[in-house]
Amino acid sequence: MNTSAFFEKRVGWTKYTMLLVLLVISFILDLIISIPTLTTTPKLGGIRGTSSVQVPSSDRIGMERVEIGIGIGASEGCMWYGKDDRQCRYTLSFQPSSEFLHLPPKQNVTKHFPDGQIMATCHINTALQAMVTTSFIFGPFFAGLLPFTMILLPITVFMSIFSAISLLIASGQVAYHLKYSIPSFELQWGINSILPFVVVFLQLVLSIYIGTLRCMMRKKNPPPPDMTDEVRLEERPRDNTLG
């Protein structure tokens, strides 16, 4: 009996497919969190703050107010000035520009802006999730990969929890700074501030379920591949019709 046949007998392809789909979903969510999204879909970012500044009008007569914005994600930071001007940088230590945003001289937005390097854990977690998903895909066909998945999955769960907390702390620091800065910003929380906790929940369910299946498989180990033919011959019913 080969590894895949043994897996089918002890686990079943229906359960395996369901677990694989959940693993792929959690990996996709991790990927959405870690890749740059503010440039295309600002609402996916971790947090975004909007405010307005008073600048000379285009006709140089009087003053006008222009809307500005600052957005922070796990791997980037963006600034908006008006409707058309935008600057995005792919970095973990994003710092907004007072010149680009036309901030007033008494502003303190850029003076103590928090460093977002703690959000590097999102990228580490995405890499671990990719390894877990890959090992589980080939687990039924190669002996030893499923135990490797069971070792790596709890580490990934722990890293997901740490990543979610790190993202929450970094976003909270940015939110506090923007809300009470000069000028103050109105905050808009993005979808990426919720997705890490969805990933943690999925991974906890998967680790418990896959661990249970692994314990079921330990009750009987698959026979060596070279014994396959002998086992099949022994299990074949004998023909006793001939004397």
Instruction: Assign 3-class secondary structure to 60-126.
Output: CCCEEEEEEEEEECCCCEEEEECCCEEEEECCCCCCCCHHHHCCCCCCCCCCCCCCCHHHHHHHHHH
**Who has greater pLDDT, 235 or 146?**
146
> Does the pTM exceed 0.85?
no
Asked if 221 and 3 count as a contact pair (C-beta separation under 8 A), the reply is no
CA angle 135, 32, 18 (to 5 degrees): 45
How many angstroms separate the CA atoms of 149 and 152, rounded?
Answer: 5
**Which amino acid is located at 42 in the chain?**
P
How many angstroms separate the CA atoms of 216 and 184, rounded?
Answer: 58
Rounded percentage of the chain residues whose pLDDT exceeds 70: 81
Q: For the segment 131-180, what is each residue's pLDDT rounded down to a tens digit?
A: 988 888 887 777 777 778 878 888 888 888 998 888 888 888 888 888 88
Q: For the segment 55-113, what is each residue's pLDDT rounded down to a tens digit?
A: 887 766 777 888 999 988 888 889 999 888 889 988 888 889 999 999 888 888 888 88
